[in-house]
Amino acid sequence: MISMEQFMGIVAGQLGLDAKGLTPESHMMNDLGADSLAMVNIIAEVESELDVEFDDLDFDEVETVADAYNKMLEELAT
């Protein structure tokens, strides 16, 4: 399992940002500048950290860091 803090650290690292500036409510695109490639890289790092493989994560409705984290947790639960 990965905590929200660990996830935010991965997001910050992939985007070249300071994790202290991120909150669960930070908007992935508008606040953090994440594009679809950045999302793929974030998920790849999470997969590596957890030694899991996500089959098909749909991030079309993901807006915030919390949305992305919760989407990932939903996939892990299946």
Over the stretch 18-71, which tens digit does the pLDDT of each residue have?
999 999 999 999 999 999 899 889 989 999 998 988 877 777 788 999 999 998
Half-sphere exposure of 49 (CA within 13 A, CB side): 14
- pTM of this prediction? 0.89
**Alpha-helical segments (H) within the chain:** 4-15, 36-50, 65-77
Q: Is 55 a catalytic residue?
A: no
- What pLDDT score does 77 carry? 85
Residue from 18, 35, 51, 56 carrying the catalytic annotation:
35
Beta bridge partners of 27: 64
- CATH code: domain of residue 51: 1.10.1200.10
65 CA to centre of own chain: 6
